[in-house]
Structure 1
Amino acid sequence: MSDSELMSIGSFAQRCGLTASALRFYADSGLLLPAEIDPVTGYRFYREDQLARAVLLRRLREIGMSLPCVNSALYADVVDAIRSVDDHVTTVMREAESVRQQAAAITNTLTGRSGLEVARLSGPVLASAIEQILTATIDDPDIAVLGGVHVEAGPGVLTMTASDRYRLSTRSLVSYVDGVPAWAATVNGDDLRQRLSDLRRTPSVTMKVTDHAMSLRLTGHSDHHCRFVSEPFPDYRSMLDTLPAVTCRVEVPAAELLHALEQRSNDWVWLCSSNNNLVVHGDLLPDIEIPARVNGRAVDVWFDMTTLYPAISTAVGADVLLDFRGPERPATVRSADRGDLTTLVMPIAAPRENTTRGHTP
């Protein structure tokens, strides 16, 4: 190999983003050997085709992978290398969560507060409710509160609410703590999501709160700490109190409506009422008519699929009630026989490209 095809350690370091000292260390570790070493000067030289390996080595180390794991990944095939990276990320996240939980416990110890008990609930029931409410959250780095769940506790009741601005879900649960004073805070949604697996397997959970966090004490488990979101939650009760009157109420089988929505390939959904049917229009697909109880003025309204479908799929019970207030007002989705989960869904304007059946936006 000619000298013109080799790079000095300095040039190679600049190309791959590693320092010269790091390259010497990785050479001594057997992870990246130089192509040649001058026997007189001891200078190290590298080839162009070693760059990809050097860059991969650097990136693996940047995510905190140990030298033995890096060595295995560098010599593995693509599938095994990807598995190694995934396993490393899983381990790091598990360790980070463990550290966070321990830090929260230390904080509680330092403050000398064991926490105020605000609720006692069934673990599986709480898990189900959290899953339903989390569908109305969104990860928005600029508005952290939209990724949180607003939790309110009072004598004998716990209410959870979330909103992503286009949808609002709220559910109330029976709590077996009667003497609790009114309390409310917005809890980090990701922290609650990580607790779902344990909640489903725990018959009872006690909810305690401090100034810094909410703790879930599960039977047979250590406490799980959930952080608070500092931003104030929107005044959703005022919004609910000022909703216009319902102009049409439709009671429809939830399973049939979900099946009809699943046949649509569009990003939007167009609903109309027709006699004793709710019609899911299909654009290029046939309309689907679902037998329904319809009371009030005719329905002609559009929704984003990503907004409407989760609201229907999380509704409790066999039949779902849809309360419409017009094409530009929030619609209410709730169970026909259980009112403990209520979701508000914002309609959208008719898509401009749609000309189905002569519909004019």
Structure 2
Amino acid sequence: MPNDELMPIGAFAQLSGLTSSALRFYADSGLLPPAEVDPVSGYRYYSSDQVARAARLRQLRELAMPLAAVEAVLDSGADEAFRLLDDHVAKVVGDAAAVQQKAAVIKSAFGNVPGLPITVVKGPVLADAVEQVLTATAHEPGMPALAGLRVEASHEAVTLTATDRYRLSTRTLVPAEPPRQTWAGTVNGDELRAAVTGIRRSPLVRLEAVPHGIWFRVAEREDRHCRLLSEEFPDHRLMLASLSEVTTRVTVSKDLLLRALEEHPGERVALHVADHGVNVASADDEHHPGIPLLATATGQALRIWFELTTLYPAVSTAIGPDVMLDLRGHDQPVTIRSADRGDLTTLAMPIKPDHSERTTTRNSP
């Protein structure tokens, strides 16, 4: 009979989170044999030392990992286990993307519904614009549209817009061919990110709308399909139209400003704009001298505060060597754009001087 330190399969099942039938299966497959089997009754008994392996086995199977890979992970060291897990996740993600694309092809064939040609754009230009604008997306419960990119095609241009409520980024592209249709839709941001590599390698990309989705048609490569989000996108046009007059304008080197932000030790930053430059200081330590940057400034002197996670991405995605900041007061959105190219524009919301919460005035486009 088993000794007192062993436990029957039912008790072990409760501790490990595996069912008794699963334990029998893993025992027969050699992944988790019992510590002892009663030769008369055939009852299986397990030791407390096996609980950790059983729990890890359950976790790996919850990731849909094949038995052979599970065994390799369980019997390897940490570095090899990490590599095997990363390989498995990459395969699952790749398989899911392939299934998604195949499903899109099947759906497009249902009822033989023709797509609606929208426009043609240069692939590398579109890919860069998508990556720049998507930095302003966010995954927030109850607000799925914030994870999407708004695509709007007029008879003259294609505009891409995204917002996470604290930033709003928009870029206008000149199409390679005049748009055939006016069209607007909010594209799934995660799927669009996955499509960027193929888009970038294509000289021209044809945008084609279908029910609930959009196709990016490319020559000599696999077309990519992205779903549309059904939720209403925030009224960004009202946000832009309601901006107050600019009171302070500063032009500064993009690289120098980014370097100052990277060297900044805190989570919040204060910009002090005066006649001959801008000082990047700590928002939490008024005695910190800050980092002075030579800049061209006009208008009123101003001190304004930002979360570093809001300001840095807005500056880093700007086009060109210099960035222009249009300020409207310490509690109003700041417009950040290239000093010589205005087709990428980002609005960044400041925070209140007491840092207790972000500014609420117009913080949701």
TM-score scaled to structure 1, two decimals?
Answer: 0.94
Instruction: Indicate conservation of the 8 Å contact 2:170/2:345, yes or no.
Output: yes
3-state SS of 2:97 partner: helix
What is the CA–CA distance in structure 1 between the aligned matches of 2:75 and 2:290, rounded to whole Å? 56
1:131–1:179 Cα change, 3 Å: closer
Q: How does 1:183-332 map to 2 (within 5 A)?
A: 183-282=183-282, 283=285, 285-332=288-335
What is the CA–CA distance in structure 1 between the aligned matches of 2:193 and 2:179, rounded to whole Å? 28
Greater Cα shift, 160-169 or 246-255: 246-255
Q: Percent identity?
A: 50
What is the CA–CA distance in structure 2 between the aligned matches of 1:287 and 1:48, rounded to whole Å? 58
Instruction: Indicate conservation of the 8 Å contact 2:120/2:178, yes or no.
Output: no
What is the CA–CA distance in structure 1 between the aligned matches of 2:318 and 2:82, rounded to whole Å? 39
Which amino acid counterpart does residue 275 of structure 2 have in structure 1?
Answer: N
Instruction: Indicate conservation of the 8 Å contact 1:118/1:177, yes or no.
Output: no
Q: CA deviation at 1:215?
A: 0.8
What is the CA–CA distance in structure 2 between the aligned matches of 1:126 and 1:60, rounded to whole Å? 39
Tell me, which stretches of 5 or more residues in structure 1 are unaligned? 354-361
Q: How does 1:52-63 map to 2 (within 5 A)?
A: 52-63=52-63
Indicate the RMSD between aligned Cα atoms, in angstroms.
1.6
Instruction: Indicate conservation of the 8 Å contact 1:123/1:199, yes or no.
Output: yes
What is the CA–CA distance in structure 1 between the aligned matches of 2:216 and 2:288, rounded to whole Å? 48
3-state SS of 1:56 partner: helix
| Counterpart position of 1:357 | none
Which amino acid counterpart does residue 155 of structure 1 have in structure 2?
Answer: H
Q: CA deviation at 1:285?
A: 4.6
Q: Deviations over 1:165-208 (max 9, x none)?
A: 11101000011232522110101110111112222222221111
What is the CA–CA distance in structure 2 between the aligned matches of 1:122 and 1:209, rounded to whole Å? 17
3-state SS of 1:347 partner: coil
Q: CA deviation at 1:230?
A: 0.9
Instruction: Indicate conservation of the 8 Å contact 1:118/1:154, yes or no.
Output: no
3-state SS of 1:244 partner: coil
Which amino acid counterpart does residue 131 of structure 2 have in structure 1?
Answer: E
What is the CA–CA distance in structure 2 between the aligned matches of 1:313 and 1:259, rounded to whole Å? 10
Q: CA deviation at 1:50?
A: 0.9
Q: How does 1:140-219 map to 2 (within 5 A)?
A: 140-219=140-219
Q: How does 1:32-47 map to 2 (within 5 A)?
A: 32-47=32-47
Which amino acid counterpart does residue 315 of structure 1 have in structure 2?
Answer: A
1:310–1:179 Cα change, 3 Å: closer
What is the CA–CA distance in structure 2 between the aligned matches of 1:85 and 1:168, rounded to whole Å? 36
Moved over 6 A (4+): none
Q: CA deviation at 1:239?
A: 1.5
3-state SS of 1:105 partner: helix
Q: 1:337 aligns with which of 321, 340, 348?
A: 340
Q: How does 1:103-118 map to 2 (within 5 A)?
A: 103-118=103-118
| Counterpart position of 1:78 | 78
Q: How many correspondences in the alignment?
A: 353
